[in-house]
Structure 1
């Protein structure tokens, strides 16, 4: 059977262009996988195995007589009210602990980069092409932190190099700065597949690395680009539209307090150009803060 090529079907070409723009640039497997069906099959298999084991092992415990004279099976299990509930384990806590240890041991940015490159505790690493560590001047007074790399950033191994990055460059230029006078990083150093939102567990695993990165850079001013960056580094649950324009503070592991300005992410501004005026106000505040601290 001959299938039509994208050139012969305009709607297919448009669909592929849409997927590419959304960041879906490769298939992780040759065939689609129904993860829900896999989970159900595994659960059914485990239940069947458990049932078969119980049937094959007759109950040989001694019989006892209860107070009413009925025979029953003797058991050493405590009453239900006295049983201690099982403690739920936090998924990936061991990997988060390892990330904290590796981050704390890094005494320079280069050591931190090497530690992150060798860290296999975050599943995002295995679908990303590159570690996106940072860009700009590590000695700059201003540090900007976004959420996670996109397709272009993953390909080049640098943060904010796509459309959002070009807008960020213009925003920096508006206050007299560029990438040589700022340092740029992300909370998550690996691109989530298809540009999906990182899970809370992935964020917590990566959190020690960005916190140590900020501590090693020691900027005078921190700018949180977007809600996820602000919520992670400022320990808040407020939305970015309520946070933006108001100075907050980020405290590093060594106790240093850095003034932080939450603002709108450039990707959001590309979708909502009317809010660029809000980001402009925030960057003017940053400019004035830098001037007062210089």
Structure 2
């Protein structure tokens, strides 16, 4: 049984579908992504270019990677790259600016130790364990969730329990696994009490750790899981339904948004959409590899 078929079976999807227009749109979208300036500490999307400028790059990418073979359905809208809201960073010379600069220079051991001993926000008072992240630290794929839940706080690992099992099955359908070519992390490294939504100050204190993880991993594609993680990473209030199906960018790296596995366990009707999102992420990954 193919990986696609295994994924469809896991999610209970009878028929796989990938819009025909998506390959052409991605050929324009992905080459347009450029590394973010070093002075910009948060999500940044590239400035749109003219058709004349993007056509040569799109043609090269289209020839380098054959489009995915899948049953075609009604053509979908073009896939644009959209900008994210970019807030002001900490004031130069402030304690927060110095802290972020120090984190940005850390290697893996120093970063791991900094997360384990972090007391920058009140979540340190209620946590059992910090949840640093897990997986291949030179992965081509990176998955980002919101924050640890109760099981994650107890075990110190992201995405465990039933949602974690579903996520593992989703990764398996793409030929990935926790310890092979994927790194999994959260926006927050500590569990918010009662699994409430993270506060803006908590995100501000914890995001430098995630930003450094992304810089060290240097993935070809980031898959963001769930509304809050997507809105936090992309600095936007746009609903997840409108963030899906579009290639975004964070620190110059392509970002694809999909639903959180826990949500999919409750909402069976959106499982097919999750598979569509993973197909998009796979195409983005493959095209980024072709242009490397």
Q: Could you tell me whether the CA contact under 8 Å between 1:102 and 1:115 is conserved in 2? A: no
In 1, Cα distance between the equivalents of 2:215 and 2:235?
A: 16
In 2, Cα distance between the equivalents of 1:99 and 1:185?
A: 21
Deviation (angstroms), 1:97: 4.3
Deviation (angstroms), 1:242: 0.8
1:269-288 correspondence runs (5 A): 269-288=264-283
Count of matched residue pairs: 196
3-state secondary structure, aligned to 2:216: helix
Deviation (angstroms), 1:119: 2.1
Partner of 1:165: 164
Q: Which deviations, in whole Å up to 9, do the C-alpha atoms of 1:197-243 show, x marking residues without a partner?
A: 11111111111111111111111101111122212222222111110
Partner of 1:196: 196
Greater gyration radius: 1
Higher relative contact order at CA 8 Å, sep ≥6: structure 1 or structure 2?
2
Partner of 2:181: 181
Relative distance call for 1:274 and 1:131 in structure 2 (3 A) is: same
Deviation (angstroms), 1:293: 2.8
3-state secondary structure, aligned to 2:131: coil
Partner of 1:216: 216
Partner of 2:38: none
Deviation (angstroms), 1:98: 5.8
1:1-294 correspondence runs (5 A): 96-97=96-97, 99-106=99-106, 108-179=107-178, 180-251=180-251, 257-294=252-289
Relative distance call for 1:170 and 1:99 in structure 2 (3 A) is: farther
Q: Could you tell me whether the CA contact under 8 Å between 1:99 and 1:206 is conserved in 2? A: no
CA RMSD in angstroms, aligned pairs only: 1.7
TM-score by length of 1: 0.63
Deviation (angstroms), 1:128: 0.7
Deviation (angstroms), 1:99: 4.2
In 2, Cα distance between the equivalents of 1:98 and 1:162?
A: 37
3-state secondary structure, aligned to 2:241: helix
Q: Which runs of 5+ in 2 are unaligned?
A: 1-89
Deviation (angstroms), 1:96: 4.5
Relative distance call for 1:193 and 1:128 in structure 2 (3 A) is: same
Q: Which runs of 5+ in 1 are unaligned?
A: 1-89, 252-256
Q: Could you tell me whether the CA contact under 8 Å between 1:134 and 1:158 is conserved in 2? A: yes
Deviation (angstroms), 1:95: 7.2
In 1, Cα distance between the equivalents of 2:156 and 2:98?
A: 24
Deviation (angstroms), 1:110: 1.8
Q: Could you tell me whether the CA contact under 8 Å between 1:95 and 1:121 is conserved in 2? A: no
Relative distance call for 1:292 and 1:189 in structure 2 (3 A) is: same
Deviation (angstroms), 1:290: 2.0
